[in-house]
Amino acid sequence: MGVTCPVDFDVAGVRSEIQTIYSRLAASPAGDFHFHRGPAYAAAVLGYDPHELAALPLAVTASFAGVGNPHAGDPIPSGAVVVDVGCGAGTDLLLAARRTGPRGRAIGVDMTEAMRRRAADGAAACGLRHVDVRAGDATRLPVDDRSVDVVISNGVLNLVPEKARAIAEMARVLKPGGRVQIADITIGELLPDSALRDIDLWTG
């Protein structure tokens, strides 16, 4: 039974399939997907404040596909620098930006161009000039060492084959005393190599 990906695992194939799915989600959030999404789901199931969600553009929240609520832990302080790893269309990113205020900074990192455009357009529509959306992924964060107060992420690490590398990247960018607030999916059993090699299981 394997606990890490096989050495010949098709990481590029997983990345490509994930980008395809989330590009489709950005273009057609009401389409047919295997996962829940949207602001009603976020409020009713994950405990987001519906009033905070309503203050964001629907073009952002309609493509929300998180699995939990990284904001449910300690509140993000005013003036903080926050990085959202795998920011998607920007729901968690813009909520973080509203909490940091203009003295802070909210950096969103995502590997899917269509999602980055939604996040950046949403920030502009909200007048959140301290939002910065960057191309990258969890294993290669385009963020300086020890420059971040809070790292958030929602439903991303379960999609990353190189989890140790992603966690090391989060540690690299955090300031001493910084913190990580993650919502994600875990399983309580070891999987055989046959399952670990199945791209459909990774993305579906």
pTM for this predicted structure: 0.88
Residue range 55-73: mean pLDDT, rounded: 96
Residue 196's pLDDT is 54
Question: Is the model's pLDDT at 168 over the cut of 70?
Answer: yes
Taking a C-beta distance cutoff of 8 angstroms, is the pair 94, 124 a contact?
A: no
Given a cut of 50, whether residue 2 has pLDDT beyond it is no
Query: What pLDDT was estimated at residue 156?
Result: 95
The answer on pLDDT for 8 being more than 70 is no
CA distance 102 to 198: 44
For residues 185-201, give the mean pLDDT.
Answer: 58
The token pair that represents 12 in the structure block? 């590029």
User: What average pLDDT is seen over the chain?
Assistant: 89
Average pLDDT of 141-168?
95
Among 6-15, 77-86, 159-168, name the one with the lowest average pLDDT: 6-15
- What is the structure's pLDDT at 191? 53
Q: How confident is the model at residue 178 (pLDDT cuts 50, 70, 90)?
A: very high
Q: What is the mean pLDDT of residues 44-57?
A: 97
Q: Catalogue all structural domains in the chain, each as residue range(s) with its CATH number.
A: 11-203 (3.40.50.150)
Name 50's Cβ contacts closer than 8 Å, sequence gap at least 6. 39, 43
Tell me how far apart the terminal alpha carbons of the chain are, to the nearest angstrom: 21
| pLDDT tier at 188, thresholds 50, 70, 90 | low
Residue 9 pLDDT: 57
